[in-house]
Structure 1
Amino acid sequence: MANGIIIIDKPAGWTSMDVCAKLRGILKTKKIGHAGTLDPMATGVLPVFVGRATRAVSFAEGGEKEYVAGLRLGLVTNTQDTEGETLTQSPVAVRREELEAVLPRFTGEISQIPPMFSAIKINGQKLYDLARQGKEVERKARAVTIFALEVVEQVSETDYILRIRCSKGTYVRTLCHDIGQALGCGGCMFSLRRTMAAGFTLDESVTLEQMQEGGEALLRPTDSLFRDRPDYRLKTEKQEERCRNGNPFFIRENLPEGEYRIYGREGEFLCLSRLQGDTMTSLKNFFGA
């Protein structure tokens, strides 16, 4: 069975689940999941996990992400992007310098009210289901972090390209909406491309067409997700036996505490573990069926 990670450059018009369904057909396996959902209009980096690598999805979802987004000033929609219904349209007399001047207000830890057109559940119901029924419910503001925010290009009097580096849970279209509100003319998102997620970039991605041709050979090893952690190769038969049985094992080296990629004596990636003192404890195993 196929095991590993594939970084897909998601095409516009596809849901993240559409991509997984396509890959199930290409790889002839059902065990496929993705990290970090992209809306249909968005393109770019979508990490997809296959086989045993699906155990790593939770580790991939929480990291920083980077986007290149199109901000359109003067237009407010019910979805906060150009695919929604227009609510207001206003003349725009904002200069690039004025836009850049408000961006520091949206950098660092900020509060966002999730859009009604989102998959967040309130009382067991997804917000977008309620929104499609014409209903609006109160949503609690959520704290997110914007690590970097800059204007990359001015396309027209109303359209700008922004680069955003942000935490998990950030709604870029809400960011565009809120920037427009701060400028007094309204705004929404007209394009979105994710350029980095889970530490993987567009340069490491492949298209679905390339996947169709290359298949399983294009899968990355599961341990590539944890390449920022140091590695540790087991030294003794007893260490490996304890590790493979899910038990903590001891090390003799004086190593700094933290997370480690653990490899068997033959070089097989076994697990992600945490070292405390001289004891290595598994966080997630990636061997076996």
Structure 2
Amino acid sequence: MIQGIVNVLKPTGMSSHDIVSQMRRIYEMKKIGHAGTLDPLAAGVLPVYLGQATRLIEYGDSDTKTYHAEFLLGIATDTEDITGQVVDRKPVPAVSTADMTAALQHFKGTIRQTPSRYSAISIHGVKAYKLARNHQDFTLPSRDITVHDIRLLSWQGHRGTLAVTCSKGTYVRSLIRDLGEYLGTCACMSYLVRVQAGVFTIEDAATLEELTRDPLRYVLPSDASMGAVRKVTLPREKCLYLLQGRPVPFAGRQMTHGEILRIYTEQGGLTGIARFDKEHHVIRPHKMFADSL
């Protein structure tokens, strides 16, 4: 069975689930998942995991993402993007490029954000967007997000484009909503492109057409996005112990209790994911790949 990661260039108009469906057709396999959902309006980088690699999605270092977003001032929608129903229109004050650049700096760093009601956040087991579509009354709590960098790419009339590098869980359309309020008007997002997700960039992303023509060409190793997880190489015998569910002794100097480790054989093969038990100085298996030896 094929296993690895494919950096897919998602087109506008398709959901992330649609991409997974297409990948199942292309690779003729069912066990496929993705990291970081993109709305149908958005395009760009979508890391897709194949086979046993799906077990590693949570350990990928794609939590920091970079987007290019287009926005409009003076109009607000229920979904906070151009696909929604218009719920408000307000005059737009005179905003120069310098004014807009200065305003964006207000959103840099760790800030509080209330996510869009039309988001995939679960409320008592139900997605918020489903509740919103059914006109249910609910409140989403604000939460901390981190905007590492935010820059104005273009500004003309009431329309602009910005680049934002942010943490996992950031809603760019909600950021634009708040930008409009900060400027004394309202705003909505009109387009979004994810240009980077961790190690995956849009320059290296493959289209569905390219994948259809040559599927194997674009499959990256299963550990391609795990650079932030400490690597430990063990003799084959100890790897076998872990595969059998047994802990193995390990000094673990400078390691913290419960630290996630990626385990490799001396030949360089990924055996699985383990945790360090500092109290007993052992490595305990967590997610091992039975066919890795």
TM-score where L is the length of structure 1: 0.90
RMSD value, Cα: 2.3
Say which SS state the counterpart of residue 224 (structure 1) adopts.
Answer: coil
| Residues 71-118 of structure 1 deviation map (CA, whole Å, 9 limit, x = unaligned) | 211111111111111222233321121122222321222111121212
- Distance (whole Å) between structure 2 residues aligned to residue 121 and residue 57 of structure 1: 20
Instruction: Note the 1:142-221 alignment, pairs <5 A.
Output: 142-154=143-155, 156-221=156-221
- State the match for 2:87 in structure 1: 87
Letter of the 1:280 counterpart: I
Distance 2:231 2:110 in 1: 33
1:286/1:107 CA distance change after superposition, 3 Å: farther
Counterpart contact for 2:243–2:285, Cα < 8 Å: no
Give the distance between the partners of 1:14 and 1:57, measured in 2 at CA: 21
How far off is 1:61 after superposition?
7.7
User: Would you say the 8 A contact 2:62–2:225 is kept in 1?
Assistant: no
CA, structure 1 residues 24+147, in 2 after alignment: closer, same or farther (shift >3 Å)?
same
Distance across 2 between alignment mates of 1:129 and 1:276: 42
What do the CA deviations read for 1:133-181 (whole angstroms, capped 9, x no partner)? 3344222112211111111222x21111111111111110000000000
Cα shift at 1:259: 4.9
Name the structure 2 match of 1:261: 262
Residues 55 and 286, structure 1, Cα contact 8 Å, conserved in 2: no
**3-state SS of the aligned residue for 2:213?**
helix
Report whether the alignment pairs 1:232 with 2:232: yes
**Identity value in percent:** 35
For the residues of structure 2 that align with 1:109 and 1:12, how far apart are their CA atoms? 30
Equivalences for 1:72-83 in 2 at 5 Å? 72-83=72-83
Distance 1:10 1:46 in 2: 6
AA matched with 1:206: A
Cα distance in 1, alignment partners of residues 188 and 61 from structure 2? 25
Structure-2 separation of matches of 1:143 and 1:46:
24
**1:99 aligned residue:** 100
Deviation at 1:276, TM superposition (A): 6.1
Rounded Cα–Cα distance in structure 2 between residues aligned with 1:62 and 1:7: 11
Distance change >3 Å, CA 2–CA 41, structure 1 → 2: same
- The one-letter code sitting in structure 1 at the alignment partner of 2:209 is E
Residue 132 of structure 1 deviates from its aligned partner by 2.0
The equivalent residue for 2:34 is: 34
CA positional deviation for 1:241: 2.2
Matched position secondary structure for 2:214: helix
CA distance in 2, matches of 1:243, 1:108: 41
* Structure 1 partner of 2:240: 241
Question: d(CA) in 1 for partners of 2:247 and 2:123?
Answer: 40
Inter-partner Cα distance in structure 1 for 2:290 and 2:190: 43
Further displaced range: 84-93 or 28-37:
84-93
The residue type equivalent to 1:86 in the other structure is V
Query: What letter corresponds to residue 238 of structure 1 in structure 2?
Result: E
**In the alignment, residue 100 of structure 1 is paired with which amino acid?**
T
State TM-score, norm by structure 2. Answer: 0.89
C-alpha distance in structure 2 between counterparts of 1:219 and 1:153, whole Å: 35
Match of 2:287 in 1: 284
Q: Distance between the aligned counterparts of 1:59 and 1:165, measured in 2?
A: 20
Q: Which one is further off, 14-23 or 139-148?
A: 139-148
- Structure 2 distance, partners of 1:130, 1:276, is 43
Deviates more, 1:131-140 or 1:170-179: 131-140
1:228 to 1:142, Cα distance in 2 relative to 1, 3 A: closer
Q: How does 1:123-142 map to 2 (within 5 A)?
A: 123-142=124-143
Contact persistence 1:35–1:61 (CA under 8 A): no
Q: Could you list the runs of 5+ residues in structure 1 that have no partner in the other structure?
A: none
Tell me the equivalent position of 1:113. Answer: 114
User: Any unmatched runs of 5+ in structure 2?
Assistant: none
Matched letter for residue 32 of structure 1: I
Quickly say closer, same or farther: Cα 1:30–1:91, change in 2 above 3 A. Answer: same
**Closer, same or farther in 2 for the Cα pair 1:241/1:128, shift >3 Å?**
closer
Amino acid in the other structure paired with 2:78? N
